[in-house]
Structure 1
Amino acid sequence: MSKLSAVLRSVAIAAALSLLCLPALAREDAAVAKSAAQASGVYYEIFVRAFYDTNGDGIGDLNGITAKLDYIKSLGVSGIWLMPINPSPSYHGYDITDYEGINPQYGTLQDFKKLLDEAHKRGIKVVIDMVINHTSDQHPWFKAALDAKDPHHDWYLWAKPGTDLHAISAVGGPAWHRASNGAYYEGTFTGAMPDLNYDNPAVRKEMIEVGRFWLRQGVDGFRLDAAQHIYDDLRTDMNDPIALQKNARWWAEYRHALEVTNPHVWLVGEVARQNPDDLTPYMGPLNTVFNFPVATQLIESVNQERNLGIGRGLEYSYAAYRTHAQGKFDDAPFLTNHDQERVMSQLDDNMAHMRLAAALLLTLPGHPFIYYGEELGMQGAKPDENIREPMRWYRNGKGEGTASWKDWSTSDDAAISVEAQQNDPASLLNLYRKLIGWREQISALRDGVLHDMPVVDPHVLAYTLKDAQSRVLVAHNLSREARVFELGADAHVSSVLLQSEDGVVLENGRLSLPPYTTAVLQ
């Protein structure tokens, strides 16, 4: 396409989309007034070790992320989330030994600053994992804490007389672990990850300073690991209103303190609960939390090819979030992450289902997250190492920059690679690019208030999204057969704007959707 043709095409798209503007659109609440002057809002999660290796040691590195920023930019994402980049004795990095350092296997602070600069030049924000519920048991603080007279002793949680040393932690394992000095300390996850004591003001102050340090380097925000477990440590704490209140109070303090350094800092918390009501209290203290309930529901709906109440549930949840956060909240939907089996494995390697799952995710408002390789259809099943495998860049598997920290465990073939899909218009990779592009074109897909549209057909999901700039109806056919349904006079739909697959027809108030197809209608 010539430059002139590209410009004319862009103008045509802009003109068509201007028809979406509804100047008289009612202001439903603060969420409706969000600015459309932003990109897609989509984030891309990266395990640095697995992504791209620039020095030939087999381990992905920060310079590898920088080298692949143009690929990341080509997806249309607004930001990246880097899993832990700090020094750690483990391959995954979730037990940190230096909060202001860079894992030497990944590079240097200078490399990280270069990554930040190059990402920002491309309009890509950078969010990093902030793992502050616990440290490594190899952290100098914990080593000092073994001396009961050292000030760091009270930075951790130690058993007292009468403590039930057989108590189960909130994640299901032993809560108490014996230290080399004979004392017992609390570690919600494992003995290698001793919990910090957030009732100690010195701990809270130090962790705020850690956040400020990274903001001063240029980081745009943080993914807050184990956000619910700051005070929710034991199985008996899981539904304790006091633990919840203390969690929320801490995160409000944290957010307020970081906003002094960067008023636009963005905080997304990991609250791994399946009841939407358990997420609501974190809206306000944080910008958002990952929507675990909808992740489960999306994959189950695709597997069953039925609408399991997604629209109804989201309408309920979003209303609760708006009320709790005075209208100022984002959602963070996703399909899977580094702790869960990959989407394609959960969908039994069904590409039609994978394409539908992508369309469901990327037509939801907020900030959807994509796990690296998801856009290719990479598979991966537990144990954890097998869902964090090297990114597949080449048809033949190996090639320049391919990480080799472990071998692949799946049956993915040459088609599951960037090289194979890059220039194939029908590939999953290019479907992701198209869907993400929709969000750049239509602000309601990012910022709209969602209202469920009841549909009699259990294989169809439909909802409206409305913001100050646009109003659209999104319809999904979840089944392997074409579906036709009446929109009704109150739908106020005039034309088909976008479709994930060809063949959508709107005629006389009836919408025809081919199998596994998503349509966006004006």
Structure 2
Amino acid sequence: MLADRSARIPKVCYEIFVRSFCDSNGDGIGDLNGVTSKLDYLADLGIGAIWLTPIHPSPSYHKYDVTDYYAIEPEYGTMDDFRRLLAGAHTRGIAVYLDLIVNHTSTLHPWFTEARKSKDNPYRHFYWWMTQDQIDHLGISERETSDDSQVVYPWHENPGDDEKYYGLFFKGMPDLNYHSDALREEIARIIRFWLNDVGVDGFRLDAARHIYPEWDKEQSITFWDFFSKVVEEAKPGAFTVGEVWAETEEVAPYLRNLNATFHFDLSFALQRMLLAGRDEQIVDKLQASFNLFQKYNPLFVNAIMLTNHDQERIGSVVGGNIRKIKLAASILLTLPGQPYLYYGEEIGMLGMKPDPYIREPFLWTPDPGDPQLTGWIKPEFTTLKTVAPLSAQTSDATSVFNHYRTLIHLRNTEPALNQILAPNLQPVRLGDDQLLAYFRPHVDRSLIIIHNLGDTERAMTLPDDKSLFTEVLFSTDPLHETTLTTNRLSPHSSVILAPAGNARAVEKQ
């Protein structure tokens, strides 16, 4: 049963910021038909699911302030375009997850335009309203900033009104108030519409820990009990992955009602390790997190990533160092869990905040006039001078793209690597914190993965009980082609080992 359920979970997912991915009509803005045109590319890369950042109508470039939950942003296309994308993805065995924003709306959403009219408007209770005296009495006029919101003063004026409304992220994004049964009924209708009427496969859930404000935050976890029951009744097996941007201890309880949560602690640890060139005992920390997650959900899915649309791109984090970019991919794609790639990571895209510059256009070809190239922003980091476009990387056996593609296909076909439920991970102690090594046990074939995080060649001696692991399945080290020939590992290199006589070689990238 565990194997059957695991087989239905996409092995590798791909986050698409639609505006920047691919333009199909020459207006400079990425769109749904552009995504559809690249489904063969994604299938060839080995992607099992795509997460589309918000595609609802919205006044912003990022679309996280929704004005209509039942429609498609006109810049991105039509509902027919989306249905064609969905059908094309499903034909290729690719699931589609919709980014659903249920923490807040735009101030331009009809619910809020009604709510702000008067205190007795029936939509008033869809949002949080208080007078300044009430706010002061509760001591909630200010908040400490967090990784996911830099707003200090979350209460905002409504002209001509003695009550203010609460908006954690921005005054143009008022938070919804789920003490309202009528609002819950509306959200349930939205869920059923997208799962049943349209046919999406699941949701990425924005700001999952902020569904209720901080003074009522214990309610945020119980909200997802309501939400998950609606999802399961509407479409059994639909997938939910939550953005709970917090430390592991705070994340864990959300797995009681969500299939997966993003592992931010791992993301930031990997970034630090790549910069410092030293292991942070990450395998031990992962094992501890798995034990904690399992208490809340024995079938938890650990959604892992290097970075996403809210973080500086991994390519820039490591200073554009191609060997470290490849090393980052090697670590991510050999750890247990469900990896999420941020579009363009597979070609080494760069980007640093502010946010628009971590969401720059994907480079398909070396032609600056390429009609597929989106032009809504002039890129500062990912340009034809700094990043080789996909078409150039495809034919380069040593490219970042081919490194990703080879690893993804290995992960998809190697049972020890693609086990998602009941994560199989054990440390391998090599006595050197510049080496990161771990064991992926599996009944079909167990594997050992070793990464040299440092800038110098390192000696590595496997423990006696792992001495038979000498066949090389994958290597970025010229010292090791198909067999482990020396006890040295080159800087920023990785090697995947199987027991001797029980391996099939994968072309070295």
TM-score between the two structures when normalised by the length of structure 1: 0.88
Does residue 475 in structure 1 map to residue 424 in structure 2? no
Q: Partner letter of residue 43 of structure 2? A: K
Q: Which runs of 5+ in 1 are unaligned?
A: 1-29
CA distance in structure 1 between the partners assigned to 2:492 and 2:67 by the alignment: 47
What is the CA-CA distance between 1:328 and the residue it aligns to?
0.6
CA deviation after TM superposition for structure 1 residue 36, in Å: 6.4
Write out per-residue CA displacement over residues 132-185 of structure 1, whole angstroms, 9 at most, x where no aligned residue. 100000000001112222211011000144212732266342110011342200
> Structure 1's 404 and 201: CA in aligned 2 closer, same or farther, altered over 3 A?
same
Could you tell me whether the CA contact under 8 Å between 1:461 and 1:477 is conserved in 2? yes
1:381 aligns with one of 352, 357, 361:
352
Range with greater deviation from structure 2 (393-402 or 495-504): 495-504
**Of residues 177, 186, 196 in structure 2, which corresponds to 1:206?**
186
Q: How many angstroms does 1:34 deviate by?
A: 6.2
Q: Percent identity?
A: 39
Q: Which amino acid aligns with 1:386?
A: Y
Separation (CA, whole Å) in 2 of partners of 1:338 and 1:407: 17
The answer on whether the counterparts of 1:169 and 1:188 sit within 8 Å (CA) in structure 2 is: no
Indicate conservation of the 8 Å contact 1:41/1:446, yes or no. Answer: yes
> Which stretch of the first structure deviates more once superposed, 469-478 or 57-66?
469-478
CA distance in 1, matches of 2:296, 2:464: 34
| Alignment correspondent of 1:255 | 228
Larger RCO, structure (CA 8 Å, separation 6 or more): 1
Q: Cα 1:483–1:35, aligned 2, differ >3 Å: closer, same or farther?
A: farther
Deviates most, 388-397 or 512-521: 512-521
What residue in structure 2 maps to residue 81 of structure 1? 51
Residue among 279, 289, 295 paired with 1:307: 279
Asked if 1:187 is matched to 2:159, the reply is no
Equivalent of 1:328 in 272, 275, 299: 299
Q: Are the aligned partners of 1:80 and 1:126 in contact in 2 as well (CA < 8 Å)?
A: yes
Count residues with an aligned counterpart: 482
Aligned to 2:238: 265
| Aligned: 1:117 with 2:96 | no
Q: Matches of 2:294 and 2:318 in 1, distance apart?
A: 33
Contact persistence 2:479–2:485 (CA under 8 A): no
Residue correspondence of structure 1 range 72-471 to structure 2 within 5 A: 72-146=42-116, 147-160=118-131, 161-164=133-136, 166-168=141-143, 171-173=149-151, 174-182=153-161, 183-216=163-196, 217-231=198-212, 233-234=213-214, 237=215, 243-244=217-218, 246-273=219-246, 275-325=247-297, 327-410=298-381, 412-414=383-385, 415-447=387-419, 448-471=423-446
1:489 aligns with 2:470: no
1:388-445 per-position Cα deviation (integer Å, ceiling 9, x unaligned) = 1111112243302111111111264355211110111110001000110111121221
The answer as to whether partners of 2:473 and 2:482 remain within 8 angstroms in 1 is no
Q: CA deviation at 1:302?
A: 0.9
Q: Give the residue type in structure 2 aligned to 1:518.
A: S
State the AA in 1 paired with 2:373.
T
Contact 1:393 1:418 in 2 (8 A): yes
- In structure 1, the residue matched to 2:39 is 69
User: Kindly tell me: are residues 469 and 265 of structure 1, through their superposed partners in 2, closer, same or farther at Cα, counting changes over 3 Å?
Assistant: farther
Secondary structure at the aligned position of 1:162 is classed as helix
The answer on whether the counterparts of 2:10 and 2:95 sit within 8 Å (CA) in structure 1 is: no
- Partner-residue secondary structure (3-state), 1:283: helix
**Which residue of 1 is the match for residue 502 of structure 2?**
none
Instruction: Give the Cα–Cα distance (whole angstroms) in 2 for the partners of residues 342 and 511 of structure 1.
Output: 33
Any idea what SS the aligned residue of 2:316 has?
helix
Distance 1:311 1:418 in 2: 33
Work out whether 1:518 is the aligned partner of 2:505. no
2:450 corresponds to which letter in structure 1?
A
2:191 and 2:230 in contact (8 A); partners too: no
Contact 2:479 2:486 in 1 (8 A): no
Amino acid at match of 1:436: I
Q: How far apart in 2 are the matches of 1:79 and 1:404?
A: 26
Secondary structure of the structure 2 residue equivalent to 1:331: strand
1:374 alignment partner AA = E
Partner of 1:27: none
Q: CA deviation at 1:123?
A: 0.8
Q: CA deviation at 1:379?
A: 0.9
Change in CA separation of 1:504 and 1:319 when aligned onto 2, cut-off 3 Å? farther
> Residue 351 of structure 2 contacts residue 382 of structure 2 at CA under 8 Å; is this kept in 1?
no
Counterpart amino acid of residue 428 in structure 2: M
Q: Distance in 2 between matches of 1:247 and 1:40?
A: 27
Partner Cα separation in structure 2 for residue 122 and residue 497 of structure 1? 31
Please state how far the C-alpha of 1:480 moved relative to its aligned partner: 2.7
DSSP-derived class of the 1:424 partner: coil
What is the CA distance between 1:492 and its match in structure 2? 6.0
Q: 1:249 deviation in Å?
A: 1.2
Q: For 1:318, what is the secondary structure of its paired residue?
A: helix
RMSD (Å) for aligned C-alpha atoms:
2.1
How far 1:495 moved relative to its partner? 3.1
8 A contact 2:475–2:481 mirrored in 1: no
Give, in whole Å, the separation in 2 of the partners of 1:272 and 1:462: 27
293-302 or 462-471: bigger deviation: 462-471
Q: 1:36 to 1:497 in 2, by over 3 A?
A: farther
TM-score for the superposition, normalised by structure 2: 0.90
Distance (Å, rounded) in 1 between the aligned partners of 2:209 and 2:10: 28
